[in-house]
Amino acid sequence: MIAKQIEPERLQRQQAISRQVKEQISSRSPTYYIETYGCQMNVRDSQTIAGLLEQMGYLPAASKEEAKVILFNTCCVRDHAEKRLLANIGALKERKDGEEDLIIGICGCMMQQPDTAKKVMNRFPFVNFVFGTNVLWRLPEIIQCALSGERVTATEEEGFAIAEDLPAQRDSQYSAFVNITFGCDNFCTYCIVPYVRGRERSRALVDVVEEVRSLASSGISEVTLLGQNVNSYGKGMDVDFADLLKAVNGVDGIRRIRYMSSHPKDLSPRLMEAIAQNSKVCHHMHLPMQSGSTEILRRMNRNYSREKYLQLVDKLRTVVPDIELTTDVIVGFPGETEQDFLDTLSLMDQVGFSAAFTFKYSPRKGTRAADMPDQIPEAVKKERLQRLNDLQTRKTRENNQKYLGHRGEVLVEGFDQREQTLLFGKLGTFKMVYFPGDKGLLGTYQTVTVTDTAKNSLLGQME
Ligand code: 5AD
Ligand code: SF4
């Protein structure tokens, strides 16, 4: 489904409010601080929130302690992030008591859960406002209310329309995130995302390409195309993800195209060919497997079996031989037996991922899995997670060894704070390499030969 756009008049009204706020606060130059939880989509949303705040005249704060506007951009995929968030908000109560003009807001996925926004507003009377992921564009109006002492709850927006061209404060001058789809239609039985981020909507291909073009003209050379399931980009439209890769590949100034996440059920031969044929598309795919047991995958509603996953990986490696795979795995899904878990270990062993994000299953209220029988005790989840991580540590080491003597291009992304002459950046395959060099090389592409390995990265020498 193509993403519906917010009516221009409504955006213009917000811009007018933004100018009013700017005038109102201009004598004080207040600062803001955003604490971001969760995935890259949230990181990207925080960049838009920062862009909107700066348009209103707010400046970035050096620390949370100094800020006059503090925003928590929340995640609700697992309960760990939720607990951490609630503790961090609670800690601000005392400060707010002595600092009348401090503005505290909470936004993001957690606020899209039914009742959560209301509960948070009741539990923390010192919080000025909460707003959901679909109404970022209303921030000027929300801030204006906060400045006049009015509390606001803004969580729903009918139809989940999106706003193009909102300002964004990006943190890198060379690499940028670009949203291509919003929401998710898959309803994996453990996952809260489809409930909080709504149905899957794709941005028009021309809008994505236009944004990439404008990023390239500002010096960005690497883009990461973001969606819960990028492989299904364009569903219900006359273009697909392969077409989008081809179009972005044609943008001058862009050297690298990354994308995440991919769902195995939508990984078509056509897409594999597009990865192989469009030279700027990086040879790395984040392909969450979640489990190695066909029975658990069925109960997760993943729409593939263990065998299908393996077939896809084999085919992909035939079409794009040097592609590196990373993955997400959940242990302790309801009903997971020791044998199911052993199947997960063996699939991971067989595939050989270069890295894996591993999670203990966390029941999310409102999802189907939360009501399934045979929930797994915490101690068992913990023990399985440990075994899974031990295996992945070994596999990462093996994978790193493969790179000894490898020569490849690295985008220089940063330098080690302690050893200022140690630069780092990634190969196209997403492997991180550290190598000696001058800070002046930030943002450039350098050819590096791998000379040694570390736990999660490689060491090398520049040519
Ligand atoms: N419990 C544990 N992990 C989860 N994920 C999503 N929902 C849950 C949950 N309820 C993991 C999946 C997904 C990643 C982003 O988070 O592995 O791919
Ligand atoms: Fe959640 Fe599954 Fe959608 Fe990923 S594909 S966001 S795990 S429902």
The full set of domain ranges for the chain reads 8-158, 172-275, 283-401, 407-462
Q: How remote is the CA of residue 435 from the centroid of ligand 2, in Å? A: 37
Q: What is the pLDDT of residue 27?
A: 86
CATH of domain 8-158: 3.40.50.12160
Classify the phi-psi angles of 57: left when phi > 0, otherwise alpha if psi is within -120 to 50, otherwise beta: left
Q: What is the pLDDT of residue 157?
A: 63
Q: How remote is the CA of residue 316 from the centroid of ligand 1, in Å? A: 24
Q: Which residue, judged by its Cα, is nearest atom 1 of ligand 2?
A: 191
189 lines ligand 2 (CB under 6 A): no
Q: CATH topology of 172-275 equal to that of 283-401?
A: yes
Q: What is the pLDDT of residue 2?
A: 87
Q: How remote is the CA of residue 188 from the centroid of ligand 2, in Å? A: 6
152 and 145 in contact (C-beta within 8 Å)? Answer: yes
Distance CA 16, CA 28 (A): 20
User: Which of 42, 76, 77, when mutated, tests ligand 1's pocket best, judged by the most ligand atoms within 8 Å of its CB?
Assistant: 77
Q: What is the pLDDT of residue 417?
A: 86
Q: How remote is the CA of residue 191 from the centroid of ligand 2, in Å? A: 6
197 lines ligand 2 (CB under 6 A): no
264 and 216 in contact (C-beta within 8 Å)? Answer: no
User: Which of 41, 112, 186, 359, when mutated, tests ligand 2's pocket best, judged by the most ligand atoms within 8 Å of its CB?
Assistant: 186
Q: What is the pLDDT of residue 263?
A: 97
User: In this structure, which CATH number among 3.40.50.300, 3.30.750.200, 3.10.20.30, 3.40.50.150 belongs to the domain 283-401?
Assistant: 3.30.750.200
State pLDDT tens for residues 69-89. Answer: 999 999 999 988 778 888 889
Q: How remote is the CA of residue 454 from the centroid of ligand 2, in Å? A: 32
46 and 37 in contact (C-beta within 8 Å)? Answer: no
Distance CA 106, CA 340 (A): 39
Distance CA 121, CA 155 (A): 12
Question: In terms of Cα–Cα distance, which of 212, 213, 214, 270 is closest to 242?
Answer: 270
Which segments of the chain have a pLDDT < 70?
156-159
Output the six-digit token pair for 30.
Answer: 């207040």
Burial of 427 (0-12, 13-18, 19+ CB in 10 A): buried
Output the six-digit token pair for 320.
Answer: 């794009």
Q: How remote is the CA of residue 38 from the centroid of ligand 2, in Å? A: 14
Q: Report the nearest atom of ligand 2 relative to the CA of 302.
A: 2
> Which runs of E-coded beta strand occur in 117-240?
129-131, 152-154, 175-179, 181-182, 201-202, 222-226
Distance CA 19, CA 12 (A): 11
Strands 407-415 and 422-426, by their bridges, are antiparallel
187 lines ligand 2 (CB under 6 A): yes
Question: In terms of Cα–Cα distance, which of 43, 423, 34 is closest to 224?
Answer: 43
Burial of 340 (0-12, 13-18, 19+ CB in 10 A): buried
78 lines ligand 2 (CB under 6 A): no
CATH class for the domain made up of 172-275: alpha beta
The mean pLDDT of the chain is: 94
Distance CA 58, CA 56 (A): 6
188 lines ligand 2 (CB under 6 A): yes
User: Which of 191, 304, 376, 388, when mutated, tests ligand 1's pocket best, judged by the most ligand atoms within 8 Å of its CB?
Assistant: 191
pTM score of the predicted model: 0.95
Q: CATH second-level architecture of 407-462?
A: Beta Barrel (2.40)
Residues with CB under 6 A from ligand 1: 77-78, 190-191, 288, 290, 328, 330, 359, 361-362, 364
Q: Report the nearest atom of ligand 2 relative to the CA of 301.
A: 2
Q: What is the pLDDT of residue 171?
A: 85
**DSSP one-letter string for 362-420:** ---TTSTGGG-S-PPPHHHHHHHHHHHHHHHHHHHHHHHHTTTT-EEEEEEEEE-SSST
**DSSP one-letter string for 102-148:** -EEEEEEGGGGSTTHHHHHHHH-TT--EEE-GGGGGGHHHHHHHHHT
| Cross-sheet strand order for the sheet of 284-286 | 284-286, 324-331, 355-360
